[in-house]
Amino acid sequence: MLAAQGVGMNIAVGFVRSKSGWMLLVFLLLSAAISAAVASYFYNSSLNTFVAQKADENATALHLVDAFVTTYSHFRSDLGAKAPVPATFRANSIENFNKQLGLNSPFTLRWVGRQGRQITTPPVDAEMAKTIEEFAEAKDRQPESVLKTIGDRPVLRTVYPSLANEQSCVTCHNQLQPNGKKWQLNDVMGAFAIDIPVGAFLSNIAGKSFTVAICLFLVLAAIGL
């Protein structure tokens, strides 16, 4: 038995040291590199597709919210100075909406003002404040989506610029901020933002990418052997 094991070991060592053994080793290393590259491509393409799809969905949802606010601002002017709902209703109502969803909500919706000029809710971080100010300076004000980590939780954040489309809205905000810089029509007054957790999705595609890499490597290794 021991003799057979010794013979088998010698054969294996001899094969590894042979030209064929070295060729197989090189082929396996090449197969590993190819498998890793394919898995990386699969991961990145899946992630890019997901981000593009969710960004469009989020932008559409925020567009609808913005349209509702603009429509209300238009009709609120017909209700007079003592309108039953104050101009800060959107920030307060969205905040109450988030509280009702609870801490385990699949997303967080916010309406925030510009840094230092907000009425109720400021930007949640410096990055959001910077994005809003870039909207204010830009001519092409398209929603922006980005992956980021908040605490230890990865999220997809979509920021949609909120403009002063109604004179009644401008007048109301100027009354609430009489000592600040006056708002004008079409000014960027803030932004709507949605944060959607993506940790589960990232774990899912990471697992699938690993499976793709292992399966491809085994197939290539079998061919090489």
Tokens of 199: 């940790």
Q: Are the CB atoms for 95 and 101 separated by under 8 Å?
A: no
- Amino acid of residue 167: Q
Residue 31, both tokens: 């197969």
| 149-194 tens-digit pLDDT | 887 888 888 888 888 877 777 877 787 788 878 888 888 888 888 8
Q: What is the mean pLDDT of residues 20-33?
A: 84
**pLDDT tens for residues 134-148?**
888 888 788 888 888
Residue 213 to residue 131: CA distance in whole angstroms: 38
Which pLDDT value is given to residue 37? 94
Average pLDDT, the chain: 79
- Please provide residue 150's backbone torsions phi and psi, each rounded to the nearest 5 degrees: -110, 115
Q: Calculate ∠ Cα 147-149-150, nearest 5°.
A: 125
Q: How far apart are CA 76 and CA 8, in angstroms?
A: 89
Two tokens, residue 20: 């064929």
| Residue located via tokens 């100075």 | 81
Mean pLDDT of 68-83: 62
Consecutive H or E run containing 193:
strand 188-197
Which of 72-76, 84-88, 96-100, 176-180 has the highest average model confidence (pLDDT)? Answer: 176-180
Beta strand 108-113 with 188-197 is antiparallel
